[in-house]
Amino acid sequence: MLQVKNLEKSFGGLKVLTGVTFDVARGEKLALIGPNGAGKSTLINVIGGQLTASGGVVDFDGGRPIVSLPPNERLHLGLARSYQQNNLFWHLPVLDNVLLALYGAETSHLRFLKPLGQRTELLEEAEKLLTSADLWEKRHESPTTLSYGEQRLLELLLAFTSNPRMVLLDEPSAGLPTAEAFAFSDKLRKLVGSATLLFCAHDLDLVFNLADNIIVLCFGVIIARGTPDEIKANPQVQEIYLGSEDDDK
């Protein structure tokens, strides 16, 4: 579904990504982990089109080059994403947030004179999406009345309104209280379903619960890739997260 080859990203003289190369299979759930400043969010933003690559190749869905395409064109090809901070229409009900996202994901907007609330097909799709996140009963409420975990789920839900082939998630559980984390992880797995997923996260419980495979990024370079069990047992990864014996001397 996605091939990244020798991807580079620099900000002036600061090199953030160096020769990053990996692929994501169709239906795979691939996690990006690493210490602060590793380049995880930068990598997600370059693949999503929010940042311009300094070099390298990004091919999508069978080899289509997308590295020079703007985000909206990547979206219409089937590559969707969510953000680390909630980007919701706070003054509108939950249902209207989803309806607007569904409308925005359409390639044609010639029916703009018809109220979205009268678009039966959009209402049916909104109900299906909100039900999958257990938010349908709160469809008429303001997002401000939702718990933070529910707000995060609504934010993530908007990434699925375009029926994407692949979704990019940047720290999906960011700021989530520990008490909500377990239920959030299960609801996120249900929401993702069979979609291809690339996500970065500091929450290792979420990573090990959701990911088929994990990439470890450190100072803009991939240092390991494997299953959750392989990553847990990797000495280099253990040193990054736990420190070496020499660190205590």
CATH level 3 topology of 2-248: Rossmann fold (3.40.50)
User: Do the bridges between strand 55-60 and strand 29-33 make them parallel or antiparallel, or are there none, so unpaired?
Assistant: unpaired
How much is the pTM? 0.86
Enumerate the β-bridge partners of residue 21. Answer: none
Span 137-194, pLDDT tens digits:
999 999 999 988 899 899 988 888 888 899 999 988 888 877 777 788 888 888 888 8
Span 15-26, pLDDT tens digits:
999 999 999 999
C-alpha pair distances (Å), 109 with each of 14, 34, 231:
42, 41, 46
Span 204-224, pLDDT tens digits:
888 998 999 999 999 999 999
Q: What is the pLDDT of residue 181?
A: 77
Q: pLDDT band at residue 248, thresholds of 50, 70 and 90?
A: very low
Q: pLDDT band at residue 112, thresholds of 50, 70 and 90?
A: low
Q: What is the pLDDT of residue 113?
A: 60
Indicate the average pLDDT of the chain.
88
Return the exposure string of 23-61: e unless at least 16 CB atoms fall within 10 Å of the residue's CB, then b.
ebeeebbbbbbbeeebbbbbbbbbbbbbbebeebebbbb
